[in-house]
Amino acid sequence: MSEEDQTTKPAQSAEDALPDDFEPLTVTYERLRHSTDVEELSRFARTPLPDRADQAAFSRATALLEAVAGNAHTPVEDRVFLAETMPFPNVLVKLSGDPEASVRKAVAGNEADKNWLVGLLTKDADPEVRDTALLNPRTSWKMRLEGAQNPDVDAATLDALSRLGVETEQNAPAVLASMVRRAVAGNPNVSPETKARLARDPSGEVARRAAE
């Protein structure tokens, strides 16, 4: 073996190892955020995420999804897909302010939401978004109580809230669940069927409120 062969070659730098067409994250983020290429945006939205073991690639992909989610040129169906399936707070926060109610509704139903985010959506201008958020298990009891008191909440959502602690979420704090059911019983928008059932509620306070 020659002396030249035995000579240790300098290690390849990380920069040299990058492909020629590699874009820094910030450059790609801004490009996607302002892109009008519907096909590219849709492709990014639907591309499976890298394995979490590849932390750098995974972090990059989730950051870029935020840019795609916030771009109005991303097709609505792709934004709904992201809102329904993504567990990442940065993406869900971006989508929670989407001008399309169908996208916000999908966020409202995502059980990966932080409770403060789904709480904000219980105050959304669109009734379907509000109702969906109220039924998300991540919604706080405070927001559920306010929803149960709100006369703008529809009868079907009130019926679902009226079952908390009895038929659904049976391990829920009894006092909090009964407060929600009692509020439903006094809501002017509650259906006669729901009110009749609440008149037989195991909580005396709920039953008395429903009987009024």
- Per-residue pLDDT at 203: 96
Structure tokens at 115: 């409770």
Q: How is 160-196 classified by DSSP, letter by letter? A: HHTTBTTTBSTTS-HHHHHHHHHHHHT-TT--HHHHH
Three-class SS of residue 152? coil
Domain final residue, candidates 138, 167, 198: 138
Structure tokens at 37: 């290429």
Q: For residue 73, what are the domain limits?
A: 22-138
User: Which is it for the CA torsion 143, 147, 152, 153, positive or negative?
Assistant: positive
Mean per-residue pLDDT, 126-130? 95
Q: Which DSSP symbol is given to 168?
A: B
Task: Tell me the per-residue pLDDT of 48-86, one tens digit each, with 9 for 90 and over.
Answer: 999 999 999 999 999 999 999 999 999 999 999 999 999
CB atoms within 10 A of CB 137: 11
Is 4 a member of any domain?
no
Is 17 a member of any domain?
no
Structure tokens at 108: 């409202």
Single-letter amino acid, residue 51: D
Single-letter amino acid, residue 93: V
Cα separation values, 13 from 16, 18, 24, 56, Å: 5, 9, 16, 17
Single-letter amino acid, residue 120: L
Is 2 a member of any domain?
no
Is 88 a member of any domain?
yes
Same domain for 72 and 126?
yes
Same domain for 117 and 132?
yes
Domain final residue, candidates 121, 138, 155: 138
Mean per-residue pLDDT, 185-192? 97
* Higher per-residue pLDDT: 16 or 88: 88
Domain final residue, candidates 98, 118, 138: 138
- Per-residue pLDDT at 23: 83
Is 1 a member of any domain?
no
- 135 close to 160: Cβ distance less than 8 angstroms: yes
Is 110 a member of any domain?
yes
Is 6 a member of any domain?
no
Same domain for 98 and 28?
yes
- Per-residue pLDDT at 18: 39
Instruction: Please state the pTM of the whole predicted model.
Output: 0.81
Mean per-residue pLDDT, 166-180? 95
| Average pLDDT score, the chain | 91
pLDDT above 80 (res 3): no
Which residue blocks in 18-172 are alpha helix, DSSP H? Answer: 25-34, 38-46, 55-69, 76-85, 89-96, 101-108, 115-121, 127-134, 141-149, 155-161
Q: In whole angstroms, what is the distance from residue 110 CA to residue 87 CA?
A: 8
Is 199 a member of any domain?
yes
Q: In whole angstroms, what is the distance from residue 97 CA to residue 101 CA?
A: 9
